[in-house]
A and B are shown apart, each in its own frame.
Chain A
């Protein structure tokens, strides 16, 4: 089933001497839903544009079905794109927008009609064919953009933050819709987003990118549970990331305590990063050999509390359904599978301490800045 469709091999991209992509290698399988995930400027859109043929890599090769396609222009690739701001043709109505690609390839008009109508059905826009695209809502324009691309029966559909401009509820609906369409039509989707929830919910494979490099490739579950470095751990969900020392296989030490863990294969006494997810921490009564902590702040989040605690001079985030008063002293209990050990990387020490954390600040950072993305 896992047949290779697209392969990027040692691809680098420079704009005016600035490196946007740094030696990326990536394989995309047929029928896969693959997401390129990362913050603004991480190179995800550039990667997508290289696959689409809108940019030629400075070095490295792109293969499609085994053939090198570096110099194949976009109009000769069996790939279609859903653009971030839809890019519907304003001088054409819904029908003509969707029919555009079929007419360019000179299909007979009855065939065009059959496929356009079928597509309108799939994206739930039947009856809209004669509407002007400028009179549609954002969500409807989005569907037209998807239909316009899919009607050409591409092998691969590229989607560049297609839900970025939609409001929260519509986004959720469209996520399900996209996943449904992808599975029904069995087309490879390559999806670009900076929204980690979206990436985890929809993808078969997630490629986490930062600073023009791939940080990790894996299934949503493995990316979340086994982050490879501090960047991935921090970008995907909330994480406490601490300094630790790997004493031996299956045993790691931090804050003067030794813990059982599930990781092995490190050198003896190797310094490592330790990731602990806020929801994996059990709060127990203080004492009894547990790490002890002081509650400094509590934020009610609906289904749980964000509880901030000081352990020494390190601030942790714990997500718990139990309320604790500010000033309470608690014990922290960690199961072996709550502890994830990672090799030190360029990202060590940059993330994971919640001393500067504020919910507002976090939201600001996650705001879509897609428009200014790269270039």
Chain B
């Protein structure tokens, strides 16, 4: 039985990671034929870093991801605090409303945002307003629920007396937030920001509908590339992207682990 579960686990992980392994192997392949590994090389990586179109695109993607994550973290945290202070019924409703966009199919979100921006463009009497601004707004829109969702539990776990203690000791509500509450919910804010960043970085569907000719993100442009035969240096790029996301996820898990351990210690000390 034990052997069976072990084999099963290996199969599941193979199934999950085999595509990435194939991609990574392909990125080190000397030949360009995916069917035959003809020798190990870093050539594709070298070419990638000399490429004058792909790297700026990666830059675009990172800029959008960082700015969107930053803004959605601030807005999302504010929203979470507001929702947390609501009475029970409106609170349940607000949470349901923030959850819907996450389950909404990306393509629906993308098309509806595109329509909205087109409409706004008409209102502003402009030909098209698609570009950095629309991409950013779209990314903030789908990032924010993730931030709210990761900050919310921290707020509910927090001892409500802590905030009152800060008020009691002379803090205005705003001061109380920055001096006390934010320290308590920081793990949630950080994991929310990381989640938002990765969501933004790898978003293709929604971006595809709202990008403009002046500002394109990497996944969108790569999709355009795939209409032609794919260049092997793209494998190298994907492998790197995968590693970055993997690293972020590991970091997030480590943070959560540390947070859980601290909570444990705190509980032990208080008794």
Residues of chain A having any CB pair with chain B under 8 Å: 52-54, 73-75, 79-81, 83-91, 100-101, 104-105, 133-136, 138, 141, 148-149, 152
Q: Are B169 and A101 in contact (CB under 8 A)?
A: yes
Min CB distance B3 to A, Å, is: 44
B143-170, CB under 8 A of A: which get 1 and which 0? 0000000000000000101101111111
Q: Are B159 and A75 in contact (CB under 8 A)?
A: no
Min CB distance B42 to A, Å, is: 45
Cβ 8 A contact of B175, one of A85, A104, A133, A141: A104
Q: Are A89 and B164 in contact (CB under 8 A)?
A: no
Q: Are B159 and A134 in contact (CB under 8 A)?
A: no
B-side interface residues, number (CB < 8 Å)? 22
Q: Are A100 and B164 in contact (CB under 8 A)?
A: no
What residue of chain A has the Cβ atom nearest to residue B160's Cβ? A87
Q: Are A134 and B269 in contact (CB under 8 A)?
A: yes
**Complex CA–CA separation, A152 to B184 (angstroms):** 24
What residue of chain B has the Cβ atom nearest to residue A134's Cβ? B269
Residues of B within 8 A of A101 (CB): 169-170
B271 within 8 A of A: yes
Cβ 8 A contact of B269, one of A53, A74, A136: A136
Residues of A within 8 A of B164 (CB): 54, 74, 81, 83, 87
Most buried by A among B171, B175, B271: B171
Cβ 8 A contact of B266, one of A80, A100, A104, A134: A134
Q: Are A85 and B170 in contact (CB under 8 A)?
A: no
Q: Are B170 and A105 in contact (CB under 8 A)?
A: yes
**Complex CA–CA separation, A136 to B166 (angstroms):** 20
Q: Are B162 and A74 in contact (CB under 8 A)?
A: no
Q: Are A81 and B179 in contact (CB under 8 A)?
A: no
Cβ 8 A contact of A104, one of B161, B162, B179, B271: B179
Residues of A within 8 A of B266 (CB): 90, 134
B86 within 8 A of A: no
Task: Give 4 closest A-B pairs by Cβ, nearest first.
Answer: A87-B161, A101-B169, A91-B183, A134-B269
Q: Are B159 and A85 in contact (CB under 8 A)?
A: yes
What residue of chain A has the Cβ atom nearest to residue B175's Cβ? A104
B206-247: which residues lie under 8 A (CB-CB) from chain A? none
Residues of B within 8 A of A87 (CB): 159, 161-162, 164-165
Cβ 8 A contact of B165, one of A79, A83, A141: A83
Q: Are B168 and A80 in contact (CB under 8 A)?
A: yes
Min CB distance A50 to B, Å, is: 13
Q: Are B183 and A89 in contact (CB under 8 A)?
A: yes
What residue of chain A has the Cβ atom nearest to residue B267's Cβ? A134
Total residue contacts A-B, CB cutoff 8 A = 73
**Complex CA–CA separation, A200 to B251 (angstroms):** 56
Residues of B within 8 A of A141 (CB): 270
Residues of A within 8 A of B265 (CB): 134
B113-169: which residues lie under 8 A (CB-CB) from chain A? 159, 161-162, 164-169
Q: Are A74 and B167 in contact (CB under 8 A)?
A: yes
Cβ 8 A contact of A75, one of B167, B183, B184, B270: B167
What residue of chain A has the Cβ atom nearest to residue B269's Cβ? A134
Most buried by B among A53, A83, A84: A83
Q: Are B161 and A73 in contact (CB under 8 A)?
A: no
B172 within 8 A of A: yes
Min CB distance B256 to A, Å, is: 17
Q: Provide a sorted-by-A list of 16 A–B residue pairs whose CB atoms are within 8 angstroms.
A: A73-B167, A73-B172, A80-B169, A81-B164, A83-B165, A84-B161, A89-B162, A89-B166, A90-B184, A90-B266, A100-B179, A101-B169, A105-B170, A136-B269, A148-B165, A152-B169
Min CB distance B260 to A, Å, is: 14
Q: Are B271 and A138 in contact (CB under 8 A)?
A: yes
B108 within 8 A of A: no
Q: Are A75 and B271 in contact (CB under 8 A)?
A: no
Min CB distance A99 to B, Å, is: 10
Residues of B within 8 A of A148 (CB): 165, 169
Q: Are B161 and A85 in contact (CB under 8 A)?
A: yes
Min CB distance B179 to A, Å, is: 7
**Complex CA–CA separation, A86 to B184 (angstroms):** 16
B183-205: which residues lie under 8 A (CB-CB) from chain A? 183-184
Q: Are A52 and B168 in contact (CB under 8 A)?
A: yes
Q: Are B175 and A81 in contact (CB under 8 A)?
A: no
**Complex CA–CA separation, A32 to B271 (angstroms):** 32
**Supplied contacts A54-B167, A75-B169, 16 more A-B pairs, CB within 8 Å:** A74-B167, A75-B167, A79-B168, A80-B169, A84-B161, A87-B165, A89-B183, A90-B266, A91-B180, A91-B184, A101-B170, A104-B170, A104-B175, A148-B169, A152-B169, A152-B170
Residues of A within 8 A of B166 (CB): 89, 100
